[in-house]
Amino acid sequence: MRTSLTRYNNLLRRTCIDIPEFPTEGVLSTSGSRTIHINRTNKFVRRVFNNGNWEDGGRFYGPWWQNIPKQWREMIRIEDEQTIEWDYSGLHIVLLYALKEMNYWEIGGGDPYQLPDRESSERLRRLLKIILLVAINAQDMTKTLRGIHRHINLDLEEYGWVREEGLEIRELVNEFAERHQPIKEYFFSGKGVRLQNFDSRIAE
């Protein structure tokens, strides 16, 4: 892993990665709380593991393109060539089903971030992604709720509607767990860092 990472960083060092249209004065972050600038020399990548072993975590962190708003990433050019950002839909949910030897897409699961009796909207979809992320990393419901509310409070521009509409997060967590009954055992399991290891291997 160390050898591969060194080779990758050496490749990045000698490669021109840029967004020519990116304003020199920077752009506002998604939350609007700060201004983001591009430091084109900031291309160094590191991997972060967790819990003192090589099986938890391992994701790649560090370069400037990870910190820009999503709408700008599609403008990234490598050696002045256009790029495409691949999206693995519902990756962690799909991986959890795979651990149960089930192909989520073959069993007709549909959009994994939709609930039968809830609105079908992008804002709820984004919230359910946060719920899954927190729930599979937490050890119990109390810590899950605390973590979700922390995410909401840190980005009220994005999730302020949850408070305004009095959405009951505990009910939403339970509905989401029931929606994905086959993998319900992984909620409150602390399994998230192991899934990060899986997706870090995909990235590698």
Q: What is the DSSP string of 163-194?
A: HHTT--HHHHHHHHHHHTGGGGGGTTTTTHHH
Q: What is the pLDDT of residue 89?
A: 80
Contacts of 202 (CB under 8 A, 6+ apart): 88
Q: What is the pLDDT of residue 107?
A: 86
Q: What is the pLDDT of residue 86?
A: 83
Average confidence (pLDDT) over 112-140: 89
User: Of 85, 98, 161, which is closest to residue 127 (Cα–Cα)?
Assistant: 161
Average confidence (pLDDT) over 37-46: 94
Q: How confident is the model at residue 110 (pLDDT cuts 50, 70, 90)?
A: confident
Q: How confident is the model at residue 85 (pLDDT cuts 50, 70, 90)?
A: confident
User: Of 200, 170, 199, which is closest to residue 93 (Cα–Cα)?
Assistant: 199
Q: How confident is the model at residue 201 (pLDDT cuts 50, 70, 90)?
A: very high
How far is 153 from 69, CA to CA, in rounded Å? 19
Q: What is the pLDDT of residue 31?
A: 64
3-state DSSP call for residue 69?
coil
Spatial contact of 59 and 200, defined as CB atoms under 8 Å apart: yes
Q: What is the percent of the chain where pLDDT is above 90?
A: 61
Q: What is the percent of the chain where pLDDT is above 70?
A: 99
